Chain A
Amino acid sequence: MPIVEGTLLLSLVGVLARLGRGPTHGDRLLAYNSASNRVFVLLAAVGTFTGRAGFLSAAVVYAALSFLGVVILARFTERGGGHR
Chain B
Amino acid sequence: MISWALIALGLLLVLIGTLGVLRLPDVYSRLQASGVSDNAGLGLVLAGLIVRNGFEKADLTLALLLVLLLLTNPIVTHSIAKSTFTLEHRERKEDR
Q: Which residues of A contact B (CB under 8 A)?
A: 4, 7-8, 10-11, 14-15, 17-18, 24-27, 29-31, 33-34, 37-38, 40-41, 44-45, 48, 53, 56-57, 59-60, 63-64, 67, 70-71, 74-75, 77-78, 80, 84
Contact = CB atoms under 8 A, between A and B. Distances in A.
Contacts of B30: 18, 27, 30
B56 interface: no
Contact of B73 (A26, A37, A80): A37
Interface majority SS on B: helix, strand, loop or mixed? helix
Given A56-B65, A60-B68, 7 more contacts: A10-B15, A14-B18, A14-B22, A30-B21, A37-B42, A64-B68, A74-B83
Interface residues of B, number: 43
B61 A71 contact: no
Given A37-B42, A45-B49, A48-B52, A4 B75 contact: no
